[in-house]
Chain A
Amino acid sequence: MSMDKNVATQKLAVSLKGVRASLDLKNPVLTASGTFGYGLEFSLYGDLRKLGGIVVKGLSLKPREGNPMPRIAETSYGLLNSVGLQNCGAKAFLKEKLPLLPVESLPVIVNLYAVATDEFAELAGLFAGEKGVAALEVNISCPNVREGGLLFGQDARMAAQVTAAVRKRCPDRPLIVKLTPNVTDIAAIARACVEAGADIISCINTISAMAVDLSTRKPLLAAVTGGLSGPAVKPVALRCVWQVSRAVSVPVIGIGGVRNAGDVLEFILAGASAVQVGSASFFCPDTAFRIVEELPALMDKYGIDDLQALRGSLRIEGGE
């Protein structure tokens, strides 16, 4: 590796310092839960160790079958899904998937899904002592499943309750809470989570949405409503990151419509410390790897030396 390339690589490093624990990443590009499988699915398309980290598919205590088909539909510049958190369960992940990941050089973040506070705590307990797990991300916001997630993330008191329960079972691991945009005041939810012990806030989860087929007069998803992701949601995600990063003192991870290096820098300008690449990994399986490759040159183009300094440095005419 040449000196230039070394410098270029070093300047991508970011440190997400939470109140109780920090997450140090070699670059700000993570992959979003539910869009990157359990990681290995993408190992043919890039070197996983080059990513800032991966967030694996949401895990529940027991395996989940998920929703009936159809579960995905394309919309203009967006992707609508209602998968219903089909997953192999936390125990099968620990036994059959995690040992195959290069955890020494790749931060692996588990995403937790549950329908009750004590279940969240139990799940967190499964990962608390697990060396290969770099951080926990709590999904309090998935809009796909009628019975659960949505309620926690839409109520500051319940969001805090879940955060505190997970925090208690997992005191020393970075704790990320992933917020839903389907609320009136996302900053208030973020504050409640941070007060309850969140080290990092990630946002946004998908936007509650639906699509209709005129010719069949049917909804495009079997579950009728689902979650919208893709470039269509990026402006909403940027707004949420901006509001949350100004409301809390902990790091924010931006998620929503990231598909190139420019998007990463936009999120950092708006206040994010890192980003997660979501459904863009479906559109082309090397997207996250390509973004890492493209970042140094784009930073040079805009005269950016330091991502930490860029964070939240949005220039607003005439102040605010």
Chain B
Amino acid sequence: MLSELTVLEIIECGPRTRLGAGSGLFFLRINAPGWEKSAPGQFVMLRASIDQAEYLCARPFSICRLTDDYLGIFFQARGRATRDFAALKAGDRVCVWGPLGNFLPLDARVPTLILAGGIGIAPFVNYVDKHPDPEKITLEFGHRLPLGCYPFAELRPGCRASAHLEKNGRDREAFSALVKARIREFASSGIVLACGPTPFLRLVREFALKYKAETWLSLETRMACGIGACLGCAVKALLPPDVFIPSPAALAGPLQPEDTERFVQTCICGPNFRADRVLL
């Protein structure tokens, strides 16, 4: 669905420095009454204006929260488009299409380990919101900026969520060790979901393969359209050899020895991929 929607509020998250610099992390709330229901793990394409900007593409964002009242997006202002989004004000109009992409697996009975790094926490706020039994969820969150910069406090109560500040290499090693131990713990009877920077996802993937844990990685790639046409968001994945047209269904099952390496589009085959099927 494509809609023109109204910005309700945008806030820069977390404390300011003594010189007044903000975190560069923003939570955007968009008025979305009756907007399509989405499943956890999906994303939207967002653009601030239709004809004015020198850059032309919309940008993909995880759905961080979708309530009856609003669509919430958590993002980092890094380039020219996201800096423009950061300058949006209440009442501004934005163009949004979605929800797009496949779902993160959600099973009320299965112990679920969530591993989030930095802004990779975004899709999991919605995931925990929609989970029928948040007590089944354990969430480990690694971050570098103060915790208040992230929507960690927005996580619905009930899940076991812990935050781990990374100030130096030693912290990073400790978090890596925790990730490894947790994946090992959940390998036999649970599932693992992860989102964050690519080096973090590589680490999760390595342990997931080592301990044969069913693990899903939520990827972020450069996209122009979000709907499967531009072919700009391809990643290498392992597909059954008889599949000519890749789909989430073709990538859903456990890896088979005959599966072969192919390009698939993150937008329509993902953004959530089994760790054993995607090559990072």
Residues on A close to B: CB < 8 A?
34-37, 41-42, 44-45, 57, 63, 65-66, 69-72, 74, 76-79, 81, 83, 86, 88-89, 92, 96-97, 230-231, 259-260, 279, 281-286
- Report how far A282 CA is from B50 CA in the complex, Å: 12
Determine whether B111 belongs to the interface, using a CB cutoff of 8 Å to chain A: no
> Which of B182-190, B203-211, B224-232 is the contact stretch?
B224-232
> Which of B7-15, B55-63, B117-125, B129-137 is the contact stretch?
B55-63
From A57, A78, A86, A283, give the contact of B234 (CB < 8 A): A86
Write 17 A-B pairs (CB below 8 A) sorted by A numbering: A34-B231, A35-B230, A42-B227, A44-B227, A65-B262, A65-B263, A74-B56, A83-B230, A89-B244, A92-B245, A96-B245, A260-B51, A279-B56, A281-B225, A282-B230, A284-B47, A285-B97
Contacts A96-B245, A284-B95 given: A70-B232 contact, CB under 8 Å?
yes
A66 touches B2 (CB 8 A): no
In residues 89-112 of chain B, which contact A (Cβ within 8 Å)? 95, 97
Residue of A nearest to B264 (CB): A86
Q: Which residues of B contact A41 (CB under 8 A)?
A: 227-229, 268
Q: Which residues of A contact B78 (CB under 8 A)?
A: none
Residue of B nearest to A280 (CB): B56
Total number of residue pairs linking A and B with CB closer than 8 Å: 96
- Report how far A74 CA is from B53 CA in the complex, Å: 12
Determine whether B83 belongs to the interface, using a CB cutoff of 8 Å to chain A: no
Q: Which residues of B contact A89 (CB under 8 A)?
A: 244
A79 touches B234 (CB 8 A): no
Interface centre among B50, B263, B268 (most CB of A within 10 A): B263
* Interface SS, B side: loop
Interface centre among B221, B227, B231 (most CB of A within 10 A): B231
From A42, A65, A69, A282, give the contact of B224 (CB < 8 A): A282
A78 touches B56 (CB 8 A): yes
Q: Which residues of B contact A45 (CB under 8 A)?
A: 2, 97, 227
From B50, B97, B231, give the contact of A86 (CB < 8 A): B231
B224 touches A72 (CB 8 A): yes
Extra pairs beyond A45-B227, A282-B225 (18, CB < 8 Å): A37-B227, A37-B228, A41-B228, A42-B227, A44-B227, A45-B2, A45-B97, A66-B231, A69-B221, A70-B222, A76-B55, A77-B56, A81-B230, A92-B244, A283-B56, A283-B58, A283-B224, A284-B2
- Report how far A81 CA is from B54 CA in the complex, Å: 17
